[in-house]
Amino acid sequence: MNDNNRKPDGHGLKRALGFWSGVALVVGVVIGAGIFRTPASIATVLQDPLLILGLWVFFGVVSMCGALTLAELATMMPRTGGTYVYLRAAYGDAAAFVFGWLYLLVAVPAGMAALSVFFGELIFGLFGGLAAAGTWGIPAVAIFSLTALSLANILGVRSGSAITNFFTFVKVGALVIFIVAAFVSGQGDSARWTVTPEGAITDGGLAAAAKSVLFTYNGWIYVSLVAGEMIDPERRLTRIIVGGTGAIMALYIAANLAYIYLIPLPAMPGTVVANEGMNLLFGPIGGTLMTLCILGSVFGTLNGVILTKARVAFALARDKLSFAFLGRAHATRATPYTSILIQASMGILLVLVLHEPEHPLRLFDRLTAYFILVEWLALIFAIGAVFVLRRKMADAVRPYRTPFYPWVPLFFIVATVVGLSAVVWSSCSRGDYAPLVGLAVVIAGFPVHHLWKRSTKASA
């Protein structure tokens, strides 16, 4: 191995992440609460098992097409900041600024806060019930977990990735054990996979189910954000991105087959399906163990988000598109400590501001309502960058090229646009205009960039 692979990436961050740490990061960030939480939500709005399984396969293929394209961009420009780097190279400073601005002030803090709040809900649900949380119990746990994990990631990328590696092993192990036990137990019924649903399938139900599946697949691009800290990224990133995404797709489809095999769809709404399945297989002890594994899953995902997303604000500042202090790397720990501290502070602020003491269980929904659309919009433009950069940087060295170009990235873009349209339509038809608020924040970023440019010119 070339010793240069362990040297800093030029911005003060060390190349310290290997192949398995990269795979664990992809799998660990994507497999969070979604696969344990969304099946019950999907069963509430859609009772057709073949259609449900079809959605998991379809959006798995969509994610794989995105991953196959991302690998070309990541290996061509293996720099810290990932998505931000590709957007800037393809579309210019304004698009890159808007992306980084949203990540630092909107999407990242809201996503981190939502995960930490769900972690608090699980803690109190396991120990004494949600009633024991009182008015401020859940926010207190959320703030503590955000603070503790942010400090762990400031200590070093190895300590941060070690946490992700451990909890990735826990969550994947729990899912694999559950899937295998479900099929060998003989307690289920494979006929449930093809049962004819009762009642008509509504467009609203299908759109809401697609939204849940999209949410659960979110996150496979995050490993690109730490490409500047990968050892030998040109050779390893393709295997990490494609292999990790493929493993996620396989686990999701197998888990849903196991869920439906064990539990009839009409019995799923209002439950944590994985817990119910483990109760059936191993009794109350099995259900409790699964709850503990879900706790670990959420905790590990929160850590992965903190680890990866701080690199966007760091890269933005290093390119003089944001406040210079966000681009500081710790002198001895070689971590973007100011970016980590700022995003943690914003997450804590959101927890405090959006918390309703009289309705403490609404906090999670309020945090997640408006940032999902922003995340996937950024993905569309990031994957679309491959078309632009094939022309703008035609002579650039590409260690890997997207197979079946241009159909693979084109399929991803078209399918994602359709999926996001369904999300927006489903939300707005229920009187929830939160996705449009997120879109408005995206648009507002461009005049903010204009003001930023004017202020920097005036001070020059």
Residue 253 has pLDDT above 80, yes or no: yes
| 6 CB neighbour count, 10 Å cutoff | 12
Burial 106-136 (b: 16+ CB within 10 A, else e): bbbbbbbbbbbbbbbbbbbbeeeebeebeee
Gap between the Cα atoms of 445 and 251, Å rounded: 37
Residue 384 has pLDDT above 50, yes or no: yes
- Least confident piece of the model among 129-138, 179-188, 198-207, 263-272: 129-138
> Average pLDDT, stretch 164-177?
81
Nearest to 376, CA basis, from 24, 102, 114: 102
Q: pLDDT band at 370, cuts 50/70/90?
A: low
Per-chain mean pLDDT for the chain? 80
DSSP label at 104?
I
DSSP label at 106?
I
Question: Hey, what long-range contacts does 258-264 have (CB within 8 A, 24 or more apart)?
Answer: 258/178, 258/179, 258/182, 258/183, 258/188, 259/39, 260/49, 260/52, 260/53, 260/192, 260/193, 261/182, 261/183, 261/188, 261/189, 261/190, 261/192, 261/193, 262/182, 262/187, 262/188, 264/192
| The predicted structure's pLDDT at residue 200 | 74
Gap between the Cα atoms of 371 and 385, Å rounded: 22
| The predicted structure's pLDDT at residue 76 | 86
**Between residues 1 and 64, the one the model is more confident about:** 64
What are 34-66's pLDDT values in tens digits?
A: 788 788 888 888 889 999 999 999 999 999 898
What are 178-205's pLDDT values in tens digits?
A: 999 999 988 889 999 998 887 777 777 8
Gap between the Cα atoms of 133 and 63, Å rounded: 37
Instruction: Out of 1.10.10.10, 1.20.1740.10, 3.30.360.10, 3.20.20.190, select the CATH number for domain 13-99+156-303+370-459.
Output: 1.20.1740.10
Residue 118 has pLDDT above 90, yes or no: no
| The predicted structure's pLDDT at residue 132 | 62
